[in-house]
Amino acid sequence: MKLTLTRIFKGPDYTIGKLSINGAYFCDTLEDAVRNLPPVCPDTPQGKSCTCREKVYARTAIPSGTYKITMEHSPRFGRALPYLHDVPHFLGILIHSGNTADDSAGCILVGRNKAKGKVLDSRVILQALIERIGKQSEITIEIR
């Protein structure tokens, strides 16, 4: 299964995108602001928090690229959520529910972009995404 997130608006405080599953539109996304990060982070491959000066903690979207996704238990949310592996500069990136960039902390929020700077119906959309992912063994997300 291939997810594709196409960023369509990059604002100073948030980023809006469209998420497709195997080429078909599924929902809208909300992320933190896109910043110019170095291509490689010396810290995150060792499981340490990023110390790059370009990254603003909990206010920076993940870099464009292709990432493997697995369903992993989140202690914060108390349930299994889509987890993105090997994201430079970031640890613990999930796809989860939320409404504004303040809810993101680098993660990808799903919903319907019917209000400026927000996604709505996030919990319902997240549950539908989890059901679509199901027990798929090979899931990737390409972020453009």
Instruction: Give the C-alpha separation, 18 to 28, whole Å.
Output: 4
Sign of CA dihedral 89, 91, 97, 103: negative
pLDDT tens track for 41-64: 999 988 898 999 999 999 999 999
The pTM (predicted TM-score) of the whole model is 0.96
**Which residue matches tokens 């110019």?**
36
Say if CB 101 and CB 30 are below 8 A apart: yes
User: Is the separation of the CB atoms in 119 and 98 below 8 Å?
Assistant: yes
pLDDT, tens digit (0-9, with 9 covering 90-100), for 64-108: 999 999 999 999 999 999 999 999 999 999 999 999 999 999 999
Contact of 16 with 9, CB cutoff 8 Å:
yes
**Per-residue pLDDT tens over the stretch 104-131:** 999 999 999 999 999 999 999 999 999 9
69 neighbors 82 (Cβ within 8 angstroms): yes
CA end-to-end span of the chain: 17
Q: In the numeric block, which tokens belong to residue 133?
A: 């992912």
How distant, in Å, are the alpha carbons of 31, 37, 113 from that of 52?
19, 8, 31
For the beta carbon of residue 113, count every other beta carbon within 10 angstroms: 18
